[in-house]
Amino acid sequence: MGPSESPQSAYREHVSSVCTVVEEALQVSADAGHAFDGVVFHSGTAASYHADDLGVPFRSTPHFARLTPLGGPGHLVLCRPGRKPLIAWVNPTDHWEEGPEPLDGAYAESIDVREAPDPLAAGILLGDLSRCAYVGNDPDLAQRLGMPAAAVEPRVLMAVLDWHRGFKTTWEIDCIREANRIAAAGHRAARAGFERRLSERRIHADYLEAIGALDGETPYPNIIAWDDRSAILHYQRKRTSRPDPGRSFLIDAGASCGGYASDVTRSYASPSAHPVFVEALDRMEDLQRDLAQSVEPGGSFVALHARAVAGVTAILCDLGVLRVGHSEALERKLALPFLPHGVGHHLGLQVHDVGGQQVDRAGRMRPPPDEHPYLRTTRDLAPRQVVTVEPGLYFVPQLLAPHRSGPDRGCFEWSLVDDLLPCGGIRIEDDVRVTESGSENLTRPVVPGHRESLGGAAA
């Protein structure tokens, strides 16, 4: 599982910790005038595509998944103060589809488990739920189970639950660490595919094979991009043809363990890539490592992003992409079209985990600065948080076009920009745990950077 205690012990302590959070949420809600006897966490109701009977790929709701990795729709977990959580798992008698795998081992020891044929029967197994809060995606089911509309994800209670999702237990950190180790096998396969100049589709397939997952079992759709496509932040095409010319490559792909995600990005350049792009990749590697190593408790994530912007600005100035000095480029915000996203986000059950802009358990929010509206995390860093650190540098035609004729047009070396556009972009991303005195990089020990050998960081 990881370098900490045994998985069984870690999971038991994890469930105990989550139950303590639920009790705190119930108390805060009661103090605010909304008293509940317990909380029902619903794995979710499956959906179908519009005007079709084909099901949308199902993922359990995150707060349910925090208590149990049991997959599939319909399951319910009841948490009441002072009692062991009670799960009613839905195992329908159905010859069309297989049922969920039953819980065993530490999972079953930490939670009372009962079996039901459908969600309504599951609710009956849990008893009277009329004074319970409901957390899930189906308010109609909550009503059928006797819970009023006001009990569906009440804001005060949800704020406490979301706030504490930002602090990972030992179990959760070990799951994320293991998810990085699993992803490492895929990244080794993808790097080998880059060196062989395989197609995006083939590299994607090799990645899935290496991590032992189906397409829908990764925590997010893999981004596999050659050349200019690496400047499309959420590129999904996965072309079947071999790259032409195949000078730059980006892979953003993770894996899952116990419902928890890893989120890892690497960029590569071939010897035939533009020398300025190769130098930019080296400089971005150094910048990303420096940013990841600077993560520490009490630090400001907004300040970390500002450091990323300053670092990208320096690279652009030093390499001649910008024709003005560093200070002027910063003042005029000339790096923004080259870095159009935040430097990272919270990571956990969701790739973009909840609570990143939440500043307290009351639910007060801190919006991102106006000049960086896509920054997902504004919350100060604290021990037991896990965040990604992912600076980027991209040559995106749509973002650069307004500057070709605007007041800043003379600040860009446009002939060089045009030479670099076919190279796309660079993004390097690690998952970092905040410790009591600094940080632990969960990714670097198993996924090497582009300058390191594959064998040097093997799991």
- Structure confidence at residue 457 (pLDDT): 45
Q: Which two tokens stand for residue 131?
A: 């004074």
Average pLDDT per 10 consecutive residues for the chain, totaling 459 residues = 65 95 98 97 96 94 94 95 93 80 70 86 94 98 96 98 98 98 98 98 98 96 98 97 96 97 98 96 98 98 98 98 98 97 98 96 95 94 98 98 95 98 98 98 96 59
Other CB atoms closer than 10 Å to residue 15's CB: what's the count? 22
Whether the CB-CB separation of 7 and 174 falls below 8 Å is answered with yes
CATH of the domain at 16: 3.40.350.10
Q: Do both 258 and 342 map to the same domain?
A: yes
Say how far apart CA 5 and CA 205 lie, in whole Å.
35
Name the residue range of residue 120's domain.
7-165
Q: Note the pLDDT of residue 2.
A: 45
Instruction: Count CA within 13 A, CB hemisphere, residue 55.
Output: 10
Are 155 and 175 part of one and the same domain?
no
Looking at residue 95, its pLDDT comes to 78
Which contiguous run of DSSP H or E holds residue 23?
helix 7-31
DSSP class of residue 384?
T
92 plus 128 within the same structural domain:
yes
CATH number at residue 240: 3.90.230.10
What pLDDT, on a 0 to 100 scale, did the predictor assign at position 97? Answer: 77
Residue 1 is assigned to a structural domain of this protein:
no
Say what the pLDDT of residue 1 is.
46
Q: Is 243 in the same domain as 256?
A: yes
- Examine the domain organization and report whether 210 and 75 are in the same domain: no
Which pLDDT score is estimated for 5? 59
Whole-model pTM: value is 0.95
438: its two tokens: 């600094």
Angle of helix 7-31 relative to helix 155-165, nearest 10 degrees, comes to 150
| Residue 311 domain-assigned (yes or no) | yes
Handedness of CA 306, 311, 312, 316 (dihedral sign): positive
Do both 144 and 211 map to the same domain? no
Identify the pLDDT of residue 458. Answer: 38
Q: Using the 3D structure, point to which of 115, 144, 165 is the last residue of a domain.
A: 165
Looking at the structure, do residues 242 and 158 belong to the same domain, yes or no? no
